[in-house]
């Protein structure tokens, strides 16, 4: 009696193997099973039954992994980024702070400012008591003695000046200076700069002429300055305008797009705006890369912004891309050369020149197709045939066999 085809599923070395057996007579059933078991047990690895999950995944080949080399990582402290310089249409925020103690006009170290209100008291000469507002030019007009410099003077220094000036007219001069209203400029400045959403600050775009307009100091040139440089300039201007208690902080909120110009032998010439720093190779990539006519070893970069005289440099892009260095694995890319792929600045111009071969082809096309052909409009075909012939001198060979037969053989054309 014949049995139906049967199958047996086993796990061998973590892989499923399904064996199919043909129909056997009932008498051979035990023998067939014994042979199948012997074949399975003789397979490499261990064979287990009734297991559906292997012990572990098979090992991955080493060439699928690229181990990280710490020596190739550039420390962040070594990455030099060019300082950002303010551009036209940048929006900056000027934040004002008043130094501690600036509103206490009775402190001995306070220095008088314009528009401060002071009172001068004479204990023994009440008729000389007076009240003054410090004028914008920094002086006050006193009785008998006339103009006295007050701006920038402490209360003790001003009292000493008044004592020396009045002792020529009266005796027992002991003037006392009292500040009644101080920092009026600061109060007015606060009213001018205070906004509901941002507090004591002012948003100011850089105008097309490169300046910003601020209270009390007027127009300040901001174009081309870094943020720290502009901050130092504004603080100096407020000190010069007798507002040394004011300290400003500058931050840029909106950046105008930068523009990089790429021309020459590239696939797409034009102006490319960017919101971040780009290098020479990145700008060439934005332009579609260099074409087959490009002289990759003599790429010129011209920089004229923020400079009184434009400057130019030559970048060997071919050397940067094709640089190799020896290693234990053979020649590998030399990433150290990429440090010469410097960052571009706004308004930089990249020019990719053609090769000498491309210039020669242009000359040939210009001379024959645009000069000779319009003058001599004759078309024809000029052909030249070249040939050669190998001449072999005839050679005669005679056998040395004595007696007939005798053969003469000639080899040649």
Q: Is residue 86 part of a domain?
A: no
Q: Could you tell me if 233 and 286 lie in one domain?
A: no
Q: Is residue 105 part of a domain?
A: no
Q: Could you tell me if 249 and 326 lie in one domain?
A: no
Q: Is residue 290 part of a domain?
A: yes
Q: Is residue 411 part of a domain?
A: no
Domain endpoint, select from 182, 198, 227 = 182
Instruction: Look up the CATH number of the domain holding residue 122.
Output: 3.30.1950.10
Question: Which residues form the domain of 325?
Answer: 258-356
Per-residue pLDDT of the chain (413 residues; tens, 9 = 90+): 444 444 444 444 344 444 444 444 554 555 555 555 555 555 544 444 454 555 555 555 444 444 444 444 455 555 566 788 898 889 999 888 877 554 444 445 778 888 889 999 998 888 899 999 998 888 999 998 999 999 888 888 999 999 999 988 888 888 999 988 877 767 777 666 665 466 678 888 999 899 998 888 889 999 989 999 999 999 999 888 777 778 889 999 888 888 999 999 999 999 999 888 899 999 999 999 999 999 999 999 999 877 788 899 999 999 888 888 888 888 888 878 888 888 888 889 999 999 999 999 999 988 888 888 888 776 666 566 666 666 565 655 555 555 565 555 555 54
Q: Is residue 319 part of a domain?
A: yes
Q: Could you tell me if 315 and 302 lie in one domain?
A: yes
Instruction: Say how far apart CA 24 and CA 56 lie, in whole Å.
Output: 37
Instruction: Say how far apart CA 237 and CA 214 lie, in whole Å.
Output: 10
Q: Could you tell me if 36 and 122 lie in one domain?
A: no
User: Per the structure block, which two tokens stand in for 412?
Assistant: 């040649």
Residues in the chain, total: 413
Q: Is residue 54 part of a domain?
A: no
183 Rama sector, left if φ>0, alpha if ψ -120 to 50, beta otherwise: left
Q: Could you tell me if 352 and 266 lie in one domain?
A: yes
Q: Could you tell me if 215 and 280 lie in one domain?
A: no
Q: Is residue 20 part of a domain?
A: yes
CA–chain centroid gap for 195, Å, is 34
Instruction: Say how far apart CA 243 and CA 250 lie, in whole Å.
Output: 17
User: Per the structure block, which two tokens stand in for 260?
Assistant: 């990089």
How many structural domains compose the chain?
Answer: 4
Instruction: Say how far apart CA 187 and CA 164 lie, in whole Å.
Output: 33
User: Per the structure block, which two tokens stand in for 216?
Assistant: 């009390």
Q: Is residue 235 part of a domain?
A: yes
Q: Could you tell me if 215 and 266 lie in one domain?
A: no
């Amino acid at each position: 009696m014949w049995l139906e085809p049967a199958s047996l599923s086993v796990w061998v070395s973590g892989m499923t193997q399904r064996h199919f057996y043909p129909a056997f007579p009932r008498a051979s059933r035990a023998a067939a099973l014994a042979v199948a078991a012997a074949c399975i047990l003789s397979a490499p690895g261990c064979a287990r039954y009734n297991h559906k999950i292997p012990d572990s995944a098979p090992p991955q080949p080493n060439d699928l992994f690229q181990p990280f080399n710490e020596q190739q990582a550039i420390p962040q402290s070594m990455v030099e980024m060019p300082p950002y310089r303010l551009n036209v249409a940048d929006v900056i925020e000027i934040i004002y702070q008043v130094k501690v103690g600036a509103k206490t006009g009775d402190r001995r170290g306070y220095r008088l400012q314009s528009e401060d209100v002071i009172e001068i008291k004479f204990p023994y000469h009440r008729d000389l008591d007076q009240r003054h507002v410090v004028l914008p030019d920094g002086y006050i007009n006193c009785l008998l003695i006339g103009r006295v410099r007050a701006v920038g003077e402490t209360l003790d220094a001003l009292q000493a000046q008044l004592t020396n000036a009045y002792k020529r007219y009266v005796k027992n001069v002991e003037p006392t200076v009292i500040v009644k209203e101080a920092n009026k400029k600061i109060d007015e400045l606060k009213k001018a700069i205070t906004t509901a959403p941002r507090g004591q600050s002012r948003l100011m775009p850089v105008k097309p002429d490169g300046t910003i307009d601020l209270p009390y100091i007027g127009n300040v040139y901001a174009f081309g300055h870094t943020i720290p440089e502009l901050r130092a300039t504004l603080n100096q201007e407020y000190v010069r305008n007798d507002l040394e208690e004011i300290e400003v902080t500058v931050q840029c909120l909106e950046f105008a797009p930068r523009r990089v110009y790429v021309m020459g032998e590239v696939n797409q010439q034009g102006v490319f705006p960017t919101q971040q720093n780009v290098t020479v190779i990145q700008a060439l990539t934005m332009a579609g890369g260099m074409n087959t006519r490009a002289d990759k070893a003599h790429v010129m970069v011209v920089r004229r912004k923020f400079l009184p005289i434009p400057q130019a440099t030559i970048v060997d892009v071919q050397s940067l891309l094709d640089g190799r260095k020896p290693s234990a694995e053979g020649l590998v890319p030399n990433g150290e050369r990429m440090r010469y792929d410097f960052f571009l600045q706004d308004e930089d111009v990249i020019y990719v020149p053609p090769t000498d071969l491309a210039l020669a082809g242009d000359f040939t096309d210009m001379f024959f197709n645009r000069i000779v052909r319009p003058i001599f409009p004759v078309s024809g075909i000029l052909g030249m045939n070249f040939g050669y012939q190998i001449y072999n001198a005839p050679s005669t060979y005679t056998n040395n066999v004595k007696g007939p037969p005798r053969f003469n053989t000639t080899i040649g054309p």
